[in-house]
Structure 1
Amino acid sequence: MIKVMIVDDDKLVRKGLISAMPWNNFDMEVVGEASNGKKALEFIESNSVDLLLTDLAMPVMSGIELIKRVRKEFTNIYIVVLTLHQDFEYIQEALRLGAIDYIAKVQLEKERFEEVLERIYNRIAQEQKRDPNPNEIFAFDRGYVLLSINKAVGDYLVKEWSENADQSIIEVDINLWLWTQPLEQPNEIWLERISQVISTKPGWALINLKGLYGKYHKDVHRLLREYREKDFFYDYDSHFSIRSILLQDLDNHKQVRSEESINLMKERWSSHEWIYHDSLFNNHVHALKLMRLPQAKLLGLLYSLIDKWNLLFYPVSLVKIQLPDSFDSWEQVDAWCKSVRIMIRKSIDKPTFSQEVVECIIKAAYIAHEEMNQQITAANIAKRVNMSRSYFSQCFKEIVGMNFSDYLRQVRIEKAKELLLYTNKTILWIAESVGYMDEKYFSRTFREQTDMLPSIYRQTHDTGRNMSDK
């Protein structure tokens, strides 16, 4: 029988879960409840609990603090997070600390309770299968970890590894195995051979893991899963088939960078200088890697940078930059950044114009996008990019294919279309946002460019649009 405790500061939530969930169908029994983390710990200290369901936001002691204490003092207890809203980073923190699953309260009415419990039951069974002796302590200080950046490549390497090592291997996760027996001298031949095999299999690595002695199996397995999900993405190097890591290094959680630092990174990449200067480009790439962003955040940052780069370079290059669906490792990100830089440099190369002139035109096009809500003119922009009015106009038209005034009008109208389709803002507000202080003049210009008034454009294209007041 799995003994369950429910911790939530909302009494109705606790009572509802206790009475509505089909606990007996999954060999579970609710043995206790508490309104905060402190009371939960007091109960756990004097009662047997196998599964803890806890809210995250609670008074006195939060769910996060409770999870930390339980993971440290009661390592045999499985933890499931109850959360009112699906705050990804908050939930990720709980999962990092050892929670095996989470339940969004808002989904409890939509999901069948039986399905929720079945998922938790299966997850516990899966954990027990992978960690048959979760409270057992490692008697050896060194082990070897075989893992892959790709979860779908199969386990063909493990069979060969097991046979040659002549020892049993623990499957920690999909394509993640741990062998903890000490290597004797004859097995050094095996180590060399398996390293050679791995060097021919992209995405695989063998890690010499030190510092296991005295650590719980369950804690080590959790750290290895976290490492493969987060830091292995950055550490994987196809040029090295084996590397050494201290267990304590895996346990040093790397803080997710603040939004301020991410915005600073965006600013660095939003200029065009890195296209021409090798050292600046290399510094930007290195700084991005050092941030070690979770892969979802990294992709989000790259998507936002692509938007900036297309604003910067498309008017001159007529080439759209695109992002792959996913990256398996930082090596691929690094290679993609280099390929994008080469592509941009080739596409903006204008034999009849100097590099300095092309840079000035790129900057002018970018200003048109960034400052479209302001009263800017070709004369003003020419002065800002240190070119004479006449020469700027000549170069801009030859490189971009239209004069600056027409280009600025095009940029403003395209932005106005976006605002009409995806916001509920008034026509006057939209007009002012794209640089037209006179609503009638904006409507006339919009009709000249699209053959319809702004209000008609919105009505005609309103099917399926996602409205927002932002």
Structure 2
Amino acid sequence: MLKVLVVDDDRLARQGIIAVMPWAAFDMEVVGEANSGERALEILQDQHVDLLITDLAMPAMSGLDLIRGVRTDYPHIWNVVLTFHQDFGLIQEALRLGAIDYIAKTQMEQAKMEDVLERIASRIQQELSQRTLRSSGSMDAWESNVQASLITSGKTREAAICRELLVFIALEESVRLGQPRECPLWNREQLYEVSYGIWAVENPGKDVDVPMDKQDLIMELERNGLNQGWMILHITDRQLTEHELLRRFLSAYREIHLFYDYRADMVLYTPPVERIHDRHPGWTDQEIDLLREKWSSLFWVLDDEIFESMLEELEHFRLPLPQLKTVFYAARMNWQRIVPDELSEKLQPPGSQAYWMDWMEWLKTVRSLLGNKIGKSGYFDEIQHGVMKALAYIDRNIGSDIRHSDLANEAMMSKGYFSRCFKNIVGKPFHDYIRDARMEHAMVLLEQTANPIFRIAEQCGYPNEKYFSRVFRAQTGMLPSEFRSFKARG
């Protein structure tokens, strides 16, 4: 049973949430309520809680401050934000602090309460799955999470005798998993297998004559071949010397952070303590959509600062690889309308064995390709930016009637001059570009949704199904229904 604490300075709102939510249907139980952040922290000292639902706007201690305190003292607790205002910046800050979801009070009456709790329960389940908290076998996932939090807070953990650790994480299927055991730099008693493909060495250098200067250690690791096929972490956080807790944190680290931290030229990596402890909450659909929109537009192609800022933003978000791929799936379709067919292969993202450093190189290559195509037009930066604004406008309004005058106004040009500039920069007339964008959007909807054809026509900006089908067939050689059947057959 998941224990829930509801925090809101509005008594009626607080009690209303407690009364209307079908907690038992999702194996949840409200074990407390508080009218302030201070009172919530008092309750947490005596009452075990798994899920905290807190209002953002409260006097004295805000919901954000409460989440900060809970994340520090009770890292096992999941946080959900309750707010009257869907302020993206405020909600995003809460999510970055560890909140797994948010509930808008203004939507409570329209939404089914079952849907709200189902979404929250699903996010918790997804987070547990991502961090392999179920890999303990017979131990229940909820129980595992609670035990981890107790260990972290020091309530069940015995005094650690390990000062530091070297952790070896296998990077390839082909690596010899027993290789760390064969290394003469430590004895067998210091080494143990944390999880499949993860080994740890306690107190490297103890009882073995190995110099512990970092550079000397790196040279010894290279000499013994451990710099190939392994990510080696140097950990000095004493809390992580408890074996079960170490297993869970390192499994989570391998799932998310290793992809972003790995560098081919780095032998020994000392991760920040907060990165090893970070539960790294999942990101909302709104945040993913915002990232996708930014990369679909082409402003980052023309501006070095914007490009570097967007790279930093992606690395900060640390999306799991499947989500990272979804960000660039739609963006890549926009890029392909500009890059010549013979170069479109270079727009394919890196393979499954790649790391973030490879993705950054790929994005730099894509930027160079797009920049060369746009730069050949010979127009001033202001004109190029105007056309980029028009492209972003098309992407945002693909399901609406897009008029020539709207695009010209967006680009701040006359209609005639805009048409000429657009064709010279993008490589095709704007109405052809819009048609291609709508066709690609239609293909995605036909393949990934069960929406009827007339509805897809509306979503792609066409006034009726008949006209949409005629255009679709002219471009693809198939009717929309035929295309859907073809994709369904695989």
TM-score after normalising by structure 2: 0.60
Structure 2 equivalent of residue 154 of structure 1 = 176
Structure 1 residue 346 corresponds to structure 2 residue 367: no
Q: Report 1:127-142 matches (<5 A).
A: 138-142=160-164
* Mean CA deviation greater in 322-331 or 421-430: 421-430
Structure 2 equivalent of residue 60 of structure 1 = 29
CA RMSD of aligned residues (A): 4.5
Mark the runs of 5 or more structure 2 residues left unpaired by the alignment: 4-23, 32-47, 52-75, 77-117, 139-156
Query: Which of the numbers 128, 135, 144 marks the counterpart of 1:100?
Result: 135
Displacement of 1:282 = 1.1
Mark the runs of 5 or more structure 1 residues left unpaired by the alignment: 1-35, 39-54, 67-71, 73-83, 104-134
Query: Which of the numbers 179, 192, 197 marks the counterpart of 2:201?
Result: 179
Q: Is the 8 A contact 2:170 2:197 kept in 1?
A: yes
Structure 1 residue 204 corresponds to structure 2 residue 230: yes
Q: Secondary structure of 1:463's partner? A: helix
Q: Moved runs in structure 1, 4+ residues, more than 6 A?
A: 61-64
Displacement of 1:179 = 1.5
Q: Is the 8 A contact 1:147 1:177 kept in 2?
A: yes
Partner Cα distance (2:280, 2:361) in 1: 24
Structure 2 equivalent of residue 195 of structure 1 = 218
Displacement of 1:99 = 3.1
Q: Report 1:246-395 matches (<5 A).
A: 250-303=276-329, 307-312=330-335, 314-315=337-338, 317-318=340-341, 319-320=343-344, 321-350=347-376, 352-395=378-421
Q: Residue type matched to 2:296 in 1?
A: S
Structure 1 equivalent of residue 150 of structure 2 = none
Displacement of 1:403 = 3.1
Structure 1 equivalent of residue 44 of structure 2 = none
Structure 2 equivalent of residue 217 of structure 1 = 243
Structure 1 residue 164 corresponds to structure 2 residue 185: yes
1:245-299 alpha-carbon deviations (Å, 9 max, x no partner): 5767633433333333333333433332211222221111112111222333333
Q: Is the 8 A contact 1:98 1:222 kept in 2?
A: yes
Q: Residue type matched to 1:315 in 2?
A: I
Q: Secondary structure of 1:287's partner? A: helix
Partner Cα distance (1:432, 1:382) in 2: 24
Q: Residue type matched to 2:185 in 1?
A: N
Partner Cα distance (1:383, 1:247) in 2: 51
Q: Report 1:221-236 matches (<5 A).
A: 221-236=247-262
Q: Residue type matched to 2:317 in 1?
A: M
Structure 2 CA distance for partners of 1:214 and 1:290, relative to 1, 3 Å = closer
Structure 2 equivalent of residue 241 of structure 1 = 267
Partner Cα distance (2:253, 2:440) in 1: 44
Q: Is the 8 A contact 2:192 2:199 kept in 1?
A: yes
Displacement of 1:385 = 1.1
Partner Cα distance (2:302, 2:390) in 1: 17
Query: Which of the numbers 463, 472, 477 marks the counterpart of 1:437?
Result: 463
Structure 2 equivalent of residue 90 of structure 1 = 125
TM-score after normalising by structure 1: 0.62
Structure 2 CA distance for partners of 1:225 and 1:405, relative to 1, 3 Å = closer
Q: Residue type matched to 1:187 in 2?
A: V
Q: Is the 8 A contact 1:421 1:458 kept in 2?
A: no
Partner Cα distance (1:348, 1:332) in 2: 24
* Mean CA deviation greater in 335-344 or 426-435: 426-435
Partner Cα distance (2:420, 2:298) in 1: 22
Q: Residue type matched to 2:135 in 1?
A: I
Displacement of 1:446 = 5.6
Q: Is the 8 A contact 2:181 2:188 kept in 1?
A: no
Q: Is the 8 A contact 1:149 1:328 kept in 2?
A: no
Partner Cα distance (1:421, 1:263) in 2: 19
Q: Is the 8 A contact 2:163 2:236 kept in 1?
A: yes
Structure 2 equivalent of residue 119 of structure 1 = none
Q: Secondary structure of 1:183's partner? A: coil
Displacement of 1:172 = 1.7
Aligned length: 365
Partner Cα distance (2:193, 2:451) in 1: 55
Partner Cα distance (1:87, 1:410) in 2: 36
Q: Is the 8 A contact 1:209 1:244 kept in 2?
A: yes
Partner Cα distance (1:421, 1:95) in 2: 27
1:325-359 alpha-carbon deviations (Å, 9 max, x no partner): 32543322322222222232233331544444444
Percent of residue pairs bearing the same amino acid type: 25
Structure 2 CA distance for partners of 1:331 and 1:377, relative to 1, 3 Å = same
